[in-house]
Structure 1
């Protein structure tokens, strides 16, 4: 510390902020602003902290995980002694100011999980003391500055979940001290530079979900400190280098969803890897525990000759004939003004090869009763194990029911271009004239409905709160962060699925709607589940994000009261909503009795937080859509309640 006098600071709304900071002047060496320590009646704009430039002895500034908006003040560049700057987990917009490059003593810069846009300042490469740089989960674009690769003392670089483009240059090998390099979930293309094998201290490497091509460098076998490597969901080809067998500390490897072929190494750390590390590649072979075909080393040359003959003399002529026939059919249909739908698999994000109906029959033991895990109005859901060992959920649509085909097409359309940890993921599909099915990631813990109402299942207060934060986060993403707004239209417990870690995933987008403008509406007569339906949706078929907010409010009340909105106790004018409103002053009569015991020492505290949750639910289900809270604010309020419970 450069100054031994520490100040414990409580800030008050807006106008007092700058005056408070200015009065402290150089007396402050450390300033943390954790959530719920500062008391505000309204959102605080970060630019209201411009007076923070007066704190000239400040070496540590933590404003993380608040609800700050606005832009990063340029006055931060005046804090010449600053060593650590944390502003992650807010809602800050705008570009990253070059003024931060004046902070020559800055060692730790965390700006992740905001809405920062524009390019990354190239002058960050001129910060000699920088040890950790986290800019992940923003909307940053353009190339990674070349100056970054000269940061020889940088330990952690996290740029994940942005829109960064360009190639990785050979100069990446200059970062001799780097231990964690995360460039995942961007738009980086080109080849992986061989010089990356020079990063001898690298422990964690993630390049997943980019557009990288070419082979995995043999030089990766020199990354002897590596413990985790994720290269999944790219366009990598060639073989998996046998040199990787030398990585004795490697515990996690993921090269799935690429175009790799050839033999999977079976020595060193590979003895501990499972089939999931290699699924959905082009032509891998290897040991039985990888659940791929065995390598036929003796007949490999002959096999390639055979394939070449088949391609040249059989497939190409047949393909030409099929193309000609298809052209004629298309011409006839166009002449008759018949609409030709786009192929369904082209609608899926990062779609892989469609799976055949025969493969699904094999995966589910002919859609056997033992594998049936769910029934809906439009079809069945089965558990299945694909030939590569991946366990999946297979949603088969009953095309005899009206609306089943439209539901299948809608789900494919909506899932195009959306990706979030709390949304169910479509892996691929099967689409024939008389058979439609979606292959989804499998959720082993089942539905929220099962956990609320089945015997021998129980969710405690924290589990329920975490699940509702997950669901709210998914809706926040759909309503506010997608290029086209998505309205789910059918939120209910059976459409909330739980993975092994009890993380919630919102599922079933069969009647979801895409809206092109913020808060825009359109008319429809496709309805969801009545008990969760907003009044304007049920009566007039008006679709908007506010309808999802209403459904979420009903779900929030249901989860903590453990009362279905269609419970037999709700008859006539008595509904779940009116029941909660009537007992709002006596929350103990509303909430699930299993969550509370009157003898609990912290009963009053729990009741206070549960009252806040019910009040939030009521804010979601106001009769007028305009009066309802939005999902961004719902997420903020839920996280505040969670932090209070943990204190």
Structure 2
């Protein structure tokens, strides 16, 4: 073997080779890849391997070597990219010299008997993407030096004897996708900075001594798929913001000291497959909102202080008594080994109540009549007063009253310097309220036909809907000659600005996130509201971005509410040319599928930076047909050139991702309404595309 001087790659894995690894293999001086895993080699790793100056991959995994890591391994520093020495019974310390492997991308020393501290010199491995030290006997704290590994996507330090707090600087690892620190002796609170890792996919901090509470900031981890914080000392309530982790599939908070109710917002985790809240001090009822979790196949709330009726719909049809045992006072089906729920009023109580009502009701009715007379009188006295104050449709407890003079002062007299933009029904100004809150004020031009109706529609629709991806209405301000909406201010402007302005740019992931936000808003309007709402005018200028680049759909000036039992509606109001569905533009028929069509066109526009009214689209060539033709030929020629170039490092991954999105866009913009997807499926498919894209980027 040692005379094969030109040999570059040697694969001997999965045999029954035994004995020592021969030191003479170092004579094969051009060797780049040496894979010896899954054999029966034993003894020391030869020092002479350090002489293989071109070696990029060294894989010795699953051999009973029972030795130590030689210091000479640092001689491979100029070449070695992957070092696999897992499951090899390696003992002793990790040598400080390991920090010399400056080109290392992957380092796996897991499931050995390594002891001592994690060398701080690992922080020098600036190219490292995967570090796996699971299943050893490492001691000391998690070194802050690891926070310098900016390219790290997986950090695995589980099943060791590490102690101390989690480093606050873990938030610097913005490329991190998987973090495994389970089964150690870590203590203190989870740093608040940790919850800023917004692109992380899996977190396992189970079986430690972590204390404190779960903060509201947990809701920042928007793409999190798995979260395991079980077997710690966490206390206080579960924050309701956990319901915004819409990608979450596994949530395990068992064996802590959590208290308070189970948040109803957990019902928003529609991707959830496993939920374990057992062995805590949770109280109250099991929310019926959890019946919406149709993918949930494991559920455990045993050993808590829960009471009330166990939900019976959705996934609860499949759970057994084991999921609910040892609680305070749960009731429900006999198969769950709990008491039956007592829904009927006891006859004796019923008789007493009727006897009391015989005397109470007349008195109560008299009081109501007197109050009604007083209210009518006072209304009559105020009938002729014309106060320029807000008369919003938001429920009373949330209502904020803002006068016309406050709006006038907050916008500098509706100065042109504060003008954000103009539309078909009026202008939008930036304003500052007396408490310093920045707002957007949409002032309706009452000289334009339909302005009054548009104002009424927006007040009716937007004041009664609430979703993180819809522009929030603070109040509606109305007098005889002034109509305005006071809206949440979006500091990053519209999607149109980011697509077409010279000094703005969006990468692939930002565009995907924005379009998921828009799709989520439409899903809520179509399916999450008691009365389905059709937006009717979806386009880039009506998609606004907040300071975190989260998208919010706005401008409901021509929105329509479907009547009870209706699936379509006819209207004379036309929307923006290019985005209207065929049946809308030709005969005025609208439905939720009309919005789906507009969304498909918007999706194409977002990734091509071509408006549907661009001059290249004339005659039979629409933006939809243009994209359909390009998908079957060469899609790269039509995609926004700032997103992908043939020389890009991840060219194939990016091209495949955008192709999948464009196929989805064409399914949304099908000619016939019945052939289009619904927004629930669109949201799910787009999230799957994002997840696959992130996984491919990190694994490539």
1:289-326 deviation per Cα after TM superposition (whole angstroms, max 9, x unaligned): xxxxxxxxxxxxxxxxxxxxxxxxxxxxx999763356
Counterpart for residue 459 of structure 2: 412
Which ranges of structure 2 fall in alignment gaps of 5 or more residues?
1-176, 178-205, 208-221, 226-242, 271-275, 293-300, 307-373, 696-700
CA contact (8 A) 2:463 2:473 kept: no
Aligned pair 1:613/2:681, yes or no? no
Counterpart for residue 434 of structure 2: 387
Q: What's the secondary structure of 1:420's corresponding residue? A: coil
CA–CA separation in structure 1 for the residues paired with 2:680 and 2:434 = 41
Counterpart for residue 565 of structure 1: 612
Counterpart for residue 269 of structure 1: none
CA contact (8 A) 1:347 1:413 kept: no
Aligned pair 1:623/2:671, yes or no? yes
Structure 2 residue corresponding to 1:520, chosen from 567, 570, 573: 567
Q: What's the secondary structure of 2:496's corresponding residue? A: helix
CA–CA separation in structure 1 for the residues paired with 2:602 and 2:494 = 13
Map of 1:80-91 to 2, 5 A cutoff?
89=246
Q: What's the secondary structure of 2:428's corresponding residue? A: strand
Map of 1:574-593 to 2, 5 A cutoff?
574-585=621-632, 586-593=634-641
Aligned pair 1:638/2:694, yes or no? no
1:475-515 deviation per Cα after TM superposition (whole angstroms, max 9, x unaligned): 11111111111110000000000000000000001111111
Structure 2 residue corresponding to 1:465, chosen from 507, 512, 515: 512
Change (3 A) 1:440 1:327: closer
Counterpart for residue 600 of structure 1: 648
CA–CA separation in structure 1 for the residues paired with 2:423 and 2:457 = 16
**How far apart are residue 517 of structure 1 and its match?**
4.1
Change (3 A) 1:447 1:349: farther
**How far apart are residue 467 of structure 1 and its match?**
0.3
**How far apart are residue 328 of structure 1 and its match?**
10
CA contact (8 A) 1:464 1:560 kept: yes
Map of 1:267-416 to 2, 5 A cutoff?
323-325=379-381, 345-346=392-393, 351-416=398-463
1:103-136 deviation per Cα after TM superposition (whole angstroms, max 9, x unaligned): 998999999654699xxxxxx99x5457899988
Q: What's the secondary structure of 2:537's corresponding residue? A: coil
Q: What's the secondary structure of 1:384's corresponding residue? A: strand
1:536-585 deviation per Cα after TM superposition (whole angstroms, max 9, x unaligned): 11111112100000000000000001101111111111111111011112
Q: What's the secondary structure of 1:530's corresponding residue? A: coil
TM-score, normalised to structure 2, is: 0.48
CA contact (8 A) 1:423 1:507 kept: yes
Which ranges of structure 1 fall in alignment gaps of 5 or more residues?
1-33, 35-58, 68-85, 93-99, 118-123, 142-147, 154-317, 330-342
Structure 1 residue corresponding to 2:535, chosen from 488, 503, 514: 488
CA contact (8 A) 1:478 1:485 kept: yes
Counterpart for residue 344 of structure 2: none
CA contact (8 A) 1:553 1:621 kept: yes
**How far apart are residue 601 of structure 1 and its match?**
2.6
1:11-58 deviation per Cα after TM superposition (whole angstroms, max 9, x unaligned): xxxxxxxxxxxxxxxxxxxxxxx9xxxxxxxxxxxxxxxxxxxxxxxx
CA–CA separation in structure 2 for the residues paired with 1:630 and 1:475 = 10
Counterpart for residue 590 of structure 2: 543
Q: What's the secondary structure of 2:401's corresponding residue? A: coil
Change (3 A) 1:522 1:427: same
CA contact (8 A) 2:246 2:269 kept: no
Change (3 A) 1:634 1:368: same
TM-score, normalised to structure 1, is: 0.51
- Range with greater deviation from structure 2 (588-597 or 436-445): 588-597
Counterpart for residue 289 of structure 2: 138
CA–CA separation in structure 2 for the residues paired with 1:394 and 1:348 = 20
Q: How many residues align?
A: 370
CA–CA separation in structure 2 for the residues paired with 1:644 and 1:320 = 63
CA contact (8 A) 2:540 2:602 kept: yes
Q: What's the secondary structure of 1:531's corresponding residue? A: coil
**How far apart are residue 91 of structure 1 and its match?**
11
Counterpart for residue 432 of structure 1: 479
CA contact (8 A) 1:111 1:134 kept: no
The structure showing larger relative contact order (alpha-carbon pairs under 8 Å, at least 6 residues apart) is 1
CA contact (8 A) 2:266 2:290 kept: no
Q: What's the secondary structure of 1:593's corresponding residue? A: coil
CA contact (8 A) 1:554 1:621 kept: yes
CA–CA separation in structure 2 for the residues paired with 1:599 and 1:345 = 55
Counterpart for residue 495 of structure 2: 448
Q: What's the secondary structure of 2:631's corresponding residue? A: coil
**How far apart are residue 353 of structure 1 and its match?**
3.7
Counterpart for residue 531 of structure 1: 578
CA contact (8 A) 1:363 1:387 kept: yes
**How far apart are residue 346 of structure 1 and its match?**
3.2
CA–CA separation in structure 1 for the residues paired with 2:224 and 2:377 = 63
CA–CA separation in structure 2 for the residues paired with 1:566 and 1:479 = 27
